[in-house]
A and B are shown apart, each in its own frame.
Chain A
Amino acid sequence: MTVNNMADPRRPNKIFRYKPPNTETNPTLEDPTPDYMNLLGMVFSMCGLMLKLKWCAWIAVYCSFISFANSRSSEDTKQMMSSFMLSISAVVMSYLQNPQPMSPPW
């Protein structure tokens, strides 16, 4: 009878399923960047639309891109798409109302 010197450490009967860590109890584990950027993006696009500021609208587009890049894969795509569309519409509306190019602040 062959003796297996290196006993197989695997135990199929001792399998535990994966439980995603509960982020409510550990808020420090979560990265807040996508949520902040989402909020900022919405604020800037509202500013751009209401106050007709082109640079606000452009910053909103950047914010929504950054939020998308940092987002978790479990996150709702609808939220991402809505903020993205809002910022694009802010840019388009600003240019339709005032086709002049943006002037640099300096």
Chain B
Amino acid sequence: MNVGVAHSEVNPNTRVMNSRGMWLTYALGVGLLHIVLLSIPFFSVPVAWTLTNIIHNLGMYVFLHAVKGTPFETPDQGKARLLTHWEQLDYGVQFTSSRKFFTISPIILVLQIVPTSFSLYMNVLSPTHLPPGQALLSCFSQYFIHV
């Protein structure tokens, strides 16, 4: 295994997210994280979803947008050293399928918070049935109680 050998794929980091099974692994990883959080007895379902979101976003932020360069030497003479992984994906071509997938996935995760907490709130936590917009606001209002 030649670390740093010159081959036509100048920066293998660009192709990693396109490889076979990567998306599935990512989805399974997020699922596993969520299940682990759900199994902790203190957390209720909406808290588990919120935590999943937070941890997932933190992790993605660190690995895709904060860490710069490549973990191996590339023959491109350091062109990728100042680029985050997100910028390196597909050599900077925008709106490729990987980029779209990873843009949409946190949105989907966030959208999971509303239904789970909404129904819980409606049936268990609140006797009154507030309209959806107000319900959403009330869900998060407890966090802004000090404002």
Same complex: no
Residues of A within 8 A of B (CB): none
Residues of B within 8 A of A (CB): none
